[in-house]
Structure 1
Amino acid sequence: MLSHVPTTSVTLMTAVYRKIFPAVKTELQKWESRAKQIPNNELRTQALASIASKRFHCQGGAVFALLAGERWKEAVRFIVAYQTISDYLDNLCDRSTSLDPNDFRLLHQSMEDALSPGNSVKDYYQLREDQEDGNYLIDLVETCQDVIRNTENKEHMRIHLINLEDMYANLQIHKHVILEERIPRLTKWYERNKVKVPTLTWYEFAAAAGSTLGIFCLLSYALSGRLDKKLAEAIYDSYFPYMQGLHILLDYFIDQQEDKEEGDLNFCDYYPSKEKMKERFTFFINQTDNRVRKLPDAKFHKMVHHGLVGLYLGDMKVKTLDSGHEIAKDLLKISGNRARFFNMNTKIYYKLSKNKNAV
């Protein structure tokens, strides 16, 4: 049984390694087995690649299952399926020959349908050449629908789930079209929404839209039976835009060199200076601290927040960045001891993994 929400870094890591990661591994093995059966070669390749290279997204997201009480396994089931859809579609949009925004929109309709048990599944590949996936994407969608269908008080979270998903889908659509249209589309989208996020730039808003953390938090509280309208609103306001923005900005931060080599869009490139970027990251860290302390299980949410800082800045890619070490050192100092704890654990994990692979 796993019903107690961790309140310390040690109890959190113990629950994650003993309960959450093994459950995630089981779910991912199931979806990997299904992906191997996809008839179309391109779809099969991208499905397997997304699981192989992005499984840490599922592991990180599944930490929120600790909020679901005795129904934590159902939370893991949903989180792995939903995150697998996200990572699979990201691969299809990022690495496919299609640059059609209508194709990307139809593909991402699957993410809205996954959050809406009343929606019927569709032919999500209708606007692209590669189509036959042996019902892989539909099965992922229906798995998510099944969990939500059996969740009490789901009406309290629906509007927030759909708002978060809509922003996520729009980001993916705008950032994957032809190169010349990407920035104009992203800035126009921001102009239509900046009244909601007056403290953010267009690229910070785009980053905040690109995280699934708020969705996982809402779903897990709903499964626990504790979610009401007031809590749903508090979660949305606590996670969007600052927690989610920090999450994705850190992700882009460590990928700067990699994205430069690949010619991919990176939101950190739009800060006018390294000093300004560090200043804005500090702003996101402080704002997230202020927001999450108002939630129940505030210690857990703070650990997730500081865990993001520690985990991302512990990535080996930080060493490849100009001023990377100095910026990471300053941000860890601002975030405090918990962030340093997770940072140290991340570095140990990478070191052990490297030694294991060298044997």
Structure 2
Amino acid sequence: MAKAAIPVRFIAQIYRKIFPEVRTQLLYWEKRAEEIPNRELRKQALASMRQKRFHCQGGAVFALLAGENYREAVRFIVAYQTISDYLDNLCDRSNSQDPGDFAALHEALRHCLSLHAEIPPGSEYYRFRNDKEDGGYLRELVQTCREVLRKTKHYGSMEEELLRLCTLYCALQIHKHAPVSERVPRLRSWFREHKEWASDMDWHEFSACAGSTLGIFSLVSYGLTGKMTPELARKITEGYFPYIQGFHILLDYLIDQEEDRAGGDLNFCFYYESEEIMLRRLFHFFRMAKLQAGQLPDAAFHQWIVKGLPGLYLSDGKVSRNAGLKRLAKPLIREGGWTGKFFYWQAKLYRLILNRKGKPFS
């Protein structure tokens, strides 16, 4: 049991410090979403928060890296992730398939990280769609992120890396929500432009790597300690991209295959030639992610993140209800060793508690 002492303290800090702060922030933004004048925008804002709140809970774990400034880190992470989930819903659940519309919406994420950029009127983000009046909701989320970043002493040291990860994320969102016939050709073409970053991957794996916000959360949390340097920023970016971020998103897509197939949505796991090849590649990403985590400052923390990812995703009820996913889950959880099993059972217990309270962890 001696080995488990550190993860136990890690989990205790998450429950005692991080989750209560996340709850406070989400309650505020949910209230703001309820005030959105436009019915469709209000519907998508509320749906994204209620259906994807675990993205904020999971991402906020990085706030522990900010030390005594963890509340500010949580404030940034919840606001930034809320924008990401809201825009994803607007792209996924609307009639629009206009890449120009998706690019305009995702300007908001770049403005979160660009302190010298002028924030336009909130309706400007919606300029290519009929639904525009959000009561300042999106603009306030952007301003909140910028307020936190202004409190970092060396923002200039990490600005380039933040924007590099953000640019990849936004490009992915634009391409993957384009008209169905264009999606894969656009993503293949985009991958060819960046293939030097991921020479051992195919286009769908590279796309997964771009779809995570974990590197940004790590950068901002370290930035709030006041110890950021260009060298540290580069090291964090190269630590998280591609493999840790890729492993994160591939697990997300792995458990969503059934509903994505039913909804006709793009899922990167569909492009593996067989289940055997998919499992082999997931193991490759897992092992490379652990290796990258071990080369970062606070290596134990980052390795807990990596080993905790299978537990977070594979403890989902979608897995227990699907024999194929259960078969895939077991070896992945074993690969995380005793730490991975510890996080898996913690996540199972947390889901059980929330479900009993009528608050699904989803």
Matches within 5 A, 1:1-359: 8-122=6-120, 123-357=124-358
RMSD (Å) for aligned C-alpha atoms: 1.4
Give the Cα–Cα distance (whole angstroms) in 1 for the partners of residues 145 and 358 of structure 2. Answer: 35
Give the Cα–Cα distance (whole angstroms) in 2 for the partners of residues 354 and 279 of structure 1. Answer: 33
Length-normalised TM-score, structure 2: 0.95
- Which shifted more, 312-321 or 8-17? 312-321
- Matched to 1:78, the amino acid is F
- Matched to 1:164, the amino acid is L
Q: Note if contact 1:81-1:143 (Cα within 8 Å) is conserved in structure 2.
A: yes
- Matched to 1:140, the amino acid is L
- Which shifted more, 6-15 or 52-61? 6-15
Give the Cα–Cα distance (whole angstroms) in 1 for the partners of residues 178 and 211 of structure 2. Answer: 16
- Matched to 2:80, the amino acid is Y
1:260 Cα deviation (Å)? 1.2
Give the Cα–Cα distance (whole angstroms) in 2 for the partners of residues 150 and 334 of structure 1. Answer: 39
Aligned residues: 353
Task: Name structure 2 gaps, 5 residues minimum.
Answer: none
1:180 Cα deviation (Å)? 0.5
1:314 Cα deviation (Å)? 1.2
DSSP-derived class of the 1:124 partner: helix
- Matched to 1:336, the amino acid is G
Deviations 1:57-80 (A, max 9, x none): 001110000000111111011000
Q: Note if contact 1:7-1:299 (Cα within 8 Å) is conserved in structure 2.
A: no
- Matched to 1:221, the amino acid is Y
DSSP-derived class of the 1:14 partner: helix
Task: Name structure 1 gaps, 5 residues minimum.
Answer: 1-5
1:7 Cα deviation (Å)? 8.4
Give the Cα–Cα distance (whole angstroms) in 1 for the partners of residues 157 and 312 of structure 2. Answer: 32
- Matched to 1:10, the amino acid is V
Give the Cα–Cα distance (whole angstroms) in 2 for the partners of residues 108 and 133 of structure 1. Answer: 15
Q: Which runs of 4+ in 1 moved over 6 A?
A: none
1:357 Cα deviation (Å)? 4.1
Give the Cα–Cα distance (whole angstroms) in 1 for the partners of residues 347 and 233 of structure 2. Answer: 31
- Matched to 1:66, the amino acid is L
DSSP-derived class of the 1:152 partner: coil
Query: CA 1:107–1:7 in structure 2 vs 1: closer, same or farther (change >3 Å)?
Result: farther
Give the Cα–Cα distance (whole angstroms) in 2 for the partners of residues 355 and 32 of structure 1. Answer: 22
Give the Cα–Cα distance (whole angstroms) in 1 for the partners of residues 79 and 138 of structure 2. Answer: 10
Give the Cα–Cα distance (whole angstroms) in 1 for the partners of residues 197 and 350 of structure 2. Answer: 39
Deviations 1:274-322 (A, max 9, x none): 1111111111111111111111111111111111111111111113445
1:31 Cα deviation (Å)? 0.7
Length-normalised TM-score, structure 1: 0.96
Give the Cα–Cα distance (whole angstroms) in 2 for the partners of residues 257 and 353 of structure 1. Answer: 24
Give the Cα–Cα distance (whole angstroms) in 1 for the partners of residues 281 and 111 of structure 2. Answer: 35
1:348 Cα deviation (Å)? 2.1
